[in-house]
Structure 1
C-alpha cells in the first residue's frame, strides 16, 4: 500500500470516528432533552392535579389515588415529601409522576413514553444521511490531499534519483515548485524542507566531487614533469639489475600519472568522440594484434572470434582500442589466459578464465583505486574506470558480469549508427 492510500485511509478512519462520535453525542443530547421535556410536562400535570385535589378532592388530568402500579422508587421519594417523576424501562416505557396529597394519600399520573418518537426518527435519519455524506466528502478531500502530498514526495524522490544517477544540477525544490505551479513560493512545509535538504546534500556532493577532480588533475599535472625527468634519468643509468628495477618502476609511475590525467579529463566533461566508420570485427582483430606487439603477449593468450557478419559502426576507434586494451590487460593481470574476445554485430565480449569480478564491481561498476578481490591481484583499479569513461564518451554500454563458463565477462555494446540501422 502506497503513501497516498495509507494517508487517505488514515484521514478517512479518523474523520469517520469523529463524525460517529459527534452523531452519537447529538442524538444522545436530543434524547436527553426530550426526556427532560417529558418529565417537565408530567411534573406540571401532577402539580396541577394535586392542587385541584387538595381544594376539591377531585381527580383530574387522568390522576389516580393510591394506584398500586406506582413504582416503588417513586413511592419512596413521595414518602420523603417530594414531588417526583420516574421513567420505567422497556419494553413498555412509561413516565410516572406522583405527589403526596391530603389524607396521606398518593396522587399519581402515568403516560406512555414512546422511544420511537417521530421527531427522533427524523433526527436519526438526518444524522445517518448527513454522516454518510460528510464521510464521503471527507474521503474525497482526503484522497485529493493525500494525492497531492504523495505526488510532491514522488517528485522529490525523482530528483533524488537523478542526483544519485549523476545529475548533480537537479533541484528538488524547483521540481516541487514547478509541480505546484508556485516557483519561488514561500510556502514551506515538511516536503519543502526535505527537498531543501536533498538540494543541500547535492550541492555539498558537487563541491566534494569538484574538489576531488581538481585534486586529481593538479596532482597528475604536478607529477608529470618530475616523473618524465625521472624516467629520462633512469634511461641514462648503466646497465644493471638495479637500473632495470628503477626504469621499470619509473615506467609504472608514468603510466599511473597518465591514467590520472585521463580520468581528470573525463571528470571535466570536455572529452568528445571523434567518429569514423569502421568494420568492428576487423578493427578488433588488428587492435588485439597491436596490443600483442606492444605488451609482448603470447598469441595464444588472447583469442579473437568473429560471430556472424562484420558490422560497420560509427565510433571513435582510438577509444574503442583503449577500452579493449584495458579489458584485456585487466584479464591477463587478474584472471587467467586465454582471454577470449568475441565480436558479434555491435557487441564485443571479453572473457577471462580467472575467479571473476567481485560482486560489488558487478553491482556498482568500477571505481578508481579499487582493484577488486585480493585473489585477482594488485593494482590501482584505474583500468576499468578509464574503460568505463571512454564507453560513456562513446555513448556505449559497458557492463561487467560472470561468464557462463566461469571467469570475468565484460560486454561492450556500441551505439547504432544510421548506416547500421538501415
Structure 2
C-alpha cells in the first residue's frame, strides 16, 4: 500500500472514531437529559395528585390507587412512603406510598423516544459527512505528500543517471519547510558533496594521465631504439600497454565531463560491421539479419564495437558471434558470462570481467563502451542468456530520428 493510501486510511479511521465518539456522547447526553426532565415532571405531577388525594380522598389528574400494573421494583421503592419513578416499556411511572396504599401515575414516553430517534438520524448523517470530508482531506493530503515524494524520487533517479542540473528541492516545488522539503534539501546537499568529490577525483585522474603522456612519448621513442632482442621486445610491449592505459584513462576522463558531442553521419550498419569485425576479430562470426542505415558517429561506434569484441575474445569463449539486426548490434560469446556484480551495478573502471590476472586488460573497455554509447544516444545492455555465455546488445537511434 502506497503512502498516499496509508495516510488516507489513517485519516478515515480517525474520522470514524471521532464521529462515533461524538455521536455516542451526544446521544447519551440527550437521552439522560430527556429522562431527567421526564422524571422531574412526573414527580411534580405525582406530588400534585398526592395533595389532591389527601384533600379529597380520591385519585385525581389521571392517578390511580393500587394500580396492579405498577412495576414490582417501583412498588418496593415506595413501600415506606417514598416517591420514585421508573421508565418501563415506553412509559414513565411515578408512585408514592400513602396510608399503606400506592398512588401511581403513568405517562407515555414515546414522544421523547421519537425525539431521540430524530436526533440519532441527524447524528448519523453528520457522522457520515464527517467521515466523507475527513477521508477526502486525507486523500488530498496523502496525494500531495505522495506526489512530492514521487517527484523527489524521480529527481534523485535523474541525478543518479547523471543529470547534474537537476535539484530535488526545485523538483518537488512549494515554499514550505516541511519534512519533504528538508529531505529534498539534504539529498541535494549530499548530491552536491558527492559530485564535488567525483569531480575532484576525475580531475586528478585526468591530470595524472595527461602529465604521463609526455614522458611516455619519450619512453616510447627510446624503447624503439632498443635492440630487437627479447629484453627490448618486453620493454616495448610494456610501454605500449602503459600508453594504451593512459589513453584509455584520458578517454574515460573526457567522457565523464559529459561535454563530448558526436560527429553524426549516415552509416550502413551491415557493411560497417562486416569491415570492422573482419579487421578487429577475424575469428568472429558475422550474421546480418536486417541491416539498416543509421545516423551516428562511425569513429565512436567503431570504438564501442572494438571494446565489445575485445572483451568477448579475452574473457569469453569461442564462438564469438556478431549479429546485426536493424539498428541493433549484438555481440555474443560462449564463455562463463558477465559477473553478477557487473550486471547488477554496471561497468566500473579498473574492474575486469574476470579475476584472472593473466587475462590482461585494465577493466576500462566496457566503461568506455557505455560512455561512448551515451554520447551517441544509444543504449548498451549487458546480460547472460539462458543458453549460456555473455550478450552485449547495442541499440542505436535509427534513421533521421538520430539527427539532432
Within 2, Cα distance between the matches of 1:420 and 1:143? 43
Q: 1:403 to 1:64 in 2, by over 3 A?
A: closer
Residue number in structure 2 paired with 1:23: 23
Q: Deviations over 1:145-198 (max 9, x none)?
A: 332222222222221222232223212221221xxxx4xx2x222222232232
Match for 2:260 among 268, 271, 290?
271
TM-score, with length taken from structure 1 = 0.84
Counterparts of 1:160-199 in structure 2, within 5 Å, are 160-177=156-173, 182=174, 185=175, 187-199=176-188
Q: 1:261 to 1:87 in 2, by over 3 A?
A: same
Within 2, Cα distance between the matches of 1:62 and 1:342? 109
Q: 1:34 to 1:351 in 2, by over 3 A?
A: same
Q: Deviations over 1:251-294 (max 9, x none)?
A: 222211111100000011222222233433333333344436xx
SS of the equivalent of 2:350 reads coil
Counterparts of 1:241-390 in structure 2, within 5 Å, are 241-291=230-280, 299=282, 301-308=283-290, 311-374=292-355, 377=359, 379-390=361-372
C-alpha displacement at 1:33, in angstroms? 1.0
Residue number in structure 2 paired with 1:141: 137
SS of the equivalent of 1:374 reads coil
Q: Deviations over 1:315-359 (max 9, x none)?
A: 222212212221122122111234333334433222223222223
Match for 2:147 among 148, 151, 173?
151
TM-score, with length taken from structure 2 = 0.87
Within 2, Cα distance between the matches of 1:282 and 1:130? 78
Match for 1:96 among 86, 93, 97?
93
Counterparts of 1:205-220 in structure 2, within 5 Å, are 205-220=194-209
Residue number in structure 1 paired with 2:121: 125
Within 1, Cα distance between the matches of 2:197 and 2:265? 37
Q: Deviations over 1:193-221 (max 9, x none)?
A: 23223222322232232122212212212
Q: Deviations over 1:59-101 (max 9, x none)?
A: 322333444544444344434553322233xxx3432223344
Instruction: Establish whether residue 203 from structure 1 lines up as the match of residue 159 from structure 2.
Output: no
Within 2, Cα distance between the matches of 1:419 and 1:67? 103
Within 1, Cα distance between the matches of 2:374 and 2:193? 24
Residue number in structure 1 paired with 2:10: 10
Within 2, Cα distance between the matches of 1:419 and 1:23? 66
Could you tell me whether the CA contact under 8 Å between 2:315 and 2:354 is conserved in 1?
A: no
Could you tell me whether the CA contact under 8 Å between 2:267 and 2:294 is conserved in 1?
A: yes
Q: 1:357 to 1:60 in 2, by over 3 A?
A: same
Q: Structure 2 stretches of 5 or more lacking a match?
A: none
Q: Structure 1 stretches of 5 or more lacking a match?
A: 293-298
Within 2, Cα distance between the matches of 1:410 and 1:270? 25
Residue number in structure 2 paired with 1:296: none
Tell me the matched-pair count: 402
